[in-house]
Amino acid sequence: MNHKQPVQLKSYSITRYGYQKLRVCKHCKNFTMLSEDGCRYCDKNKLVSLDEHASSLVRHSHIKVLLIALLIAVAAVLFGDSTEQRLICGTIGLIVIVVLWRVQAMLRPQAVSRQLLELIKQEQQVIVNGVFRDWEAAIENWNKDKPLTYAMLREIATLMHNDTIRMQQLHMLDSFILRKDMDLELDPLLLRHFEPLLANYIGEVAKLKRELIRDRTLRYVLRHEHSILRLESGLAIMTAVVGASLRTKHYVASYAPLVRRYAFSLPKDRFLRLYRMLAEYPDHDWGGLQDEVYRIYQEKYRWDADFH
């Protein structure tokens, strides 16, 4: 029986840096990576990004400095013996405060970056606890809402890099009917060891989203080729991966022996692509691939009009 379900996956927002996925509650100071509106711990709608939080900490610290300066300036005015002295103190005090404010404004971006790093270092245990609690929250939905669990795990996996979370994502993906329009990923899910779930997923991705088959995946299938071939759909997986790798000359040239081994099983459109690529670069050293492709051509497509 097919255990796979049709699902609608939440789109994954890509941030330039991983830390931009992390948010902090301004009320209870807990951290989370999940894209919820309110804080899970205090129910307040006060989640802000680390950049915003660092920026607000810098603003508070700058205001504190300016208030201290203002206090000293006011004291100078109050202690003035004459109106003239008060006027001088007031004017100079004001100038100093304005200069200080300008300097702060000028160096503010640098101060925010420093504060950001400081914040992460100071709150490292709270951050770790927050992310682990996010992970627990994701697992709590394991049987209730699989697409949500997957979406949560994917968010967490932006910063948590380990095989456990990758395996959990693969388990979730294995229960979905994958489609071309889904926002899928492959490189971040690659494990160090051989895993049939991953191999099957690679096979599906190779058919649905060829552009996700890149060097790391090709190295993975090359490393675990024998284990993959022992799977029921092993040959189909290897053929799909090789078929997907025919996108660029770079992959064909770099993995020529692999391509050669599965060229015979390639569907006609992929084989035609390979055939044309080799014909386009006849002087390139393909390491025996050309001979094999020519042999297959002679055997299967010699009379096929598409090849002429």
Q: State in angstroms the smallest separation of the CB of 17 from another protein.
A: 5
Alpha-carbon distance values, 232 to 201, 223, 228, 237, 238 (Å): 14, 18, 9, 10, 12
For another protein, give the closer residue by CB, 78 or 305.
78
Among 7, 24, 32, 93, binds another protein (CB under 8 A): 93
Distance CA(208)–CA(204), nearest Å, equals 6
Distance CA(131)–CA(129), nearest Å, equals 6
User: What does the per-residue mask of binding to another protein show for 53-72, with x meaning CB under 8 A?
Assistant: ------------x--xx--x
Among 18, 257, 267, 288, binds another protein (CB under 8 A): 18
For another protein, give the closer residue by CB, 28 or 87.
87
Residue 9 in contact with residue 150, Cβ under 8 Å? yes
Pairing of strands 176-177, 5-6: parallel
Asked whether position 24 contacts another protein by CB under 8 A, the answer is no
Q: State in angstroms the smallest separation of the CB of 115 from another protein.
A: 10
Among 7, 9, 22, 240, binds another protein (CB under 8 A): 22
Report phi then psi at 24, rounded to 5: -125, 145
Burial annotation 274-283 (CB, 10 A radius, 16+ → b, else e): bbebbeeeee
Q: State in angstroms the smallest separation of the CB of 7 from another protein.
A: 27
Report phi then psi at 25, rounded to 5: -85, 125
For another protein, give the closer residue by CB, 115 or 290.
115
Q: State in angstroms the smallest separation of the CB of 301 from another protein.
A: 42
Among 42, 48, 57, 96, binds another protein (CB under 8 A): 96
Binding residue count for another protein, defined by CB under 8 A: 48
For another protein, give the closer residue by CB, 180 or 192.
192
Residue 209 in contact with residue 184, Cβ under 8 Å? yes
Q: CB 185: neighbour CB atoms within 10 A?
A: 15
Short-list 1, 49, 7, 2, CA closest to 25: 49
Asked whether position 111 contacts another protein by CB under 8 A, the answer is yes
* 170-209 residues near another protein, rule: CB under 8 A: 192
Task: Tell the residue number behind the tokens 């790798």, with chain if given.
Answer: 245
Distance CA(256)–CA(232), nearest Å, equals 25
Distance CA(25)–CA(40), nearest Å, equals 9
* 116-175 residues near another protein, rule: CB under 8 A: 116-117, 120-121, 124, 127-128, 131, 159-164
Report phi then psi at 36, rounded to 5: -95, 160
For another protein, give the closer residue by CB, 188 or 257.
188
Residues engaged in binding another protein (CB under 8 A): 16-19, 22, 65, 68-69, 72-73, 75-81, 85-86, 89, 92-93, 96-97, 99-100, 103-104, 107, 110-111, 113-114, 116-117, 120-121, 124, 127-128, 131, 159-164, 192
